[in-house]
Amino acid sequence: MHAPKAPRRALIVDDSRMVRRASRAILQEFGYEVTEAEDGQEALARVKADGMPDLITLDWNMPNMSGIETLKALRELYGDAVPRVMFCTTNSDAIDIHKGIDAGATEWIVKPFDKASMQAKLEKIGAI
C-alpha cells in the first residue's frame, strides 16, 4: 500500500491582496496548498520556516525586496533546490523577461491573468 501523496505546496509572493486572493483560488483548484507573502523578505522567511514549496509565483515590483532580488536571494541560499518560479507581473518588457529567466525563473505571466492563462503556463512548466 502506498502512502498518500503529500499535497503540492505553492508560495504566492505579491504586495497586492487581490492578486494573492485570485492566485490562491486558481492554485487551490489545481490541488495546491497555498501560503502567501507580501514581499520578498516575507517570502524568504516563509521558505526558511516552512521549507521549499513546489511552486513560487513572484511579483516583480514589490516594496522592501523586488521579485528579481527575491529570486536571486533564493538561488543564492538554496541553489538548485529552488522549485519552479513563475513571475506574475505587469512587466511585459523583453529585457525584464530575460533578466527574470537569467535569474532562474521558469515562466512568466502578465497581469491581469485569468484561470485559463495561468493553467496554460502551469501546464507548460509541468506544475499541473
Tell me what pLDDT residue 2 has. 61
d(CA 76, CA 91): 24
Across the chain, mean pLDDT equals: 93
Question: What is the count of structural domains for the chain?
Answer: 1
Q: Within a domain: residue 2?
A: no
Tell me what pLDDT residue 5 has. 72
Q: What is the pLDDT of residues 43-73, one digit of tens each?
A: 999 999 999 999 999 999 999 999 999 999 9
Which residue range forms the structural domain that includes residue 115? 8-121
Q: In what order do the strands lie in the sheet with 32-37?
A: 32-37, 8-13, 55-58, 84-89, 107-110
With a pLDDT cut of 70, the percent of the chain lying above it is: 97
Question: For residue 3, what pLDDT band results from cuts at 50, 70 and 90?
Answer: low
Q: Within a domain: residue 79?
A: yes
d(CA 84, CA 7): 16
Tell me what pLDDT residue 71 has. 96
d(CA 37, CA 74): 14
- Please compute the mean of the pLDDT values over residues 76-103 and round it to a whole number: 91
Q: Within a domain: residue 128?
A: no
